[in-house]
Amino acid sequence: MTSDADDRRLPREEHRRRKVLDAALLVFARFGFRKASMDEVARAAGVSRQGLYLNFATKEDLFRASVEHALGGQLRAAQTALADEVRPIDERLVTALDEWLGRYVGVMGADASDLIETSGDLTASTMSEHAERFERAVAKAIADSALKNAYVGAGVSPKQLARTLHATARGFKHESGSRDAFVEDITTAVRALCAPLLAAKQPRIPASESPTKRSGR
């Protein structure tokens, strides 16, 4: 979905279009593709049925446009998070994965089970293209960070790390019951990936101050 700040900078027609697409996404998420109706989308968006059909001739056209709109927004937000080099790489990765995959976790209605099939039929190429762009952005962020050097010796490239992390997050997306649970799971996965860096940041405890020494064992 788009932010209010983004919407205020848009021309009126584009603002209206984004409002319709945001509404359509919520309707599809709640009812699924088959049960979602153009009438329901028009009501949710606050536009007339005729006005909706002027812009989208069929429900299939609306679905394609909605998915592309959602993927574009998610990708831009993820890229912005990854580019924020002031933040540690682990925090950037968690935020990027949440922006890319977490927005609709836990909001799908009971009737939305057909969305995966419909997405594959109508938007497979768009989804694949955006997923590849996301992985490239993750790989670049890893390559530009100290994390790259931690895996050089193991022969694992930033591209491979990005693909593995993406696949792991997609699995959590389908298993998590809420966005908070999803973020918790991907945080654990990212920390595991970044363990070499995180361990290096921890202060070493002198042997004389270790718990074993203090207990007299």
Calculate the CA dihedral of residues 198, 177, 112, 21 and round it to 10 degrees. Answer: -50
175-188: per-residue pLDDT in tens? 998 999 999 999 99
Percent of the chain scoring above 70 in pLDDT = 87
User: At 202, phi and psi to the nearest 5?
Assistant: -75, 135
What is residue 15's predicted lDDT score, i.e. its pLDDT?
Answer: 86
Q: For 79-88, what is the mean pLDDT?
A: 96
User: What confidence tier does 5 reach under pLDDT thresholds 50, 70, 90?
Assistant: low
User: What confidence tier does 217 reach under pLDDT thresholds 50, 70, 90?
Assistant: very low
User: At 111, phi and psi to the nearest 5?
Assistant: -90, 5
What pTM, to 2 d.p., does this model score?
0.83
Q: For 83-99, what is the mean pLDDT?
A: 97
Q: For 156-175, what is the mean pLDDT?
A: 96
What is residue 106's predicted lDDT score, i.e. its pLDDT?
Answer: 86
Report the sign of the C-alpha dihedral through residues 169, 174, 180, 181, in that order.
Answer: negative
What is the residue type of 76?
R
Q: For 17-27, what is the mean pLDDT?
A: 95
Full set of structural domains in the chain with CATH: 4-197 (1.10.357.10)
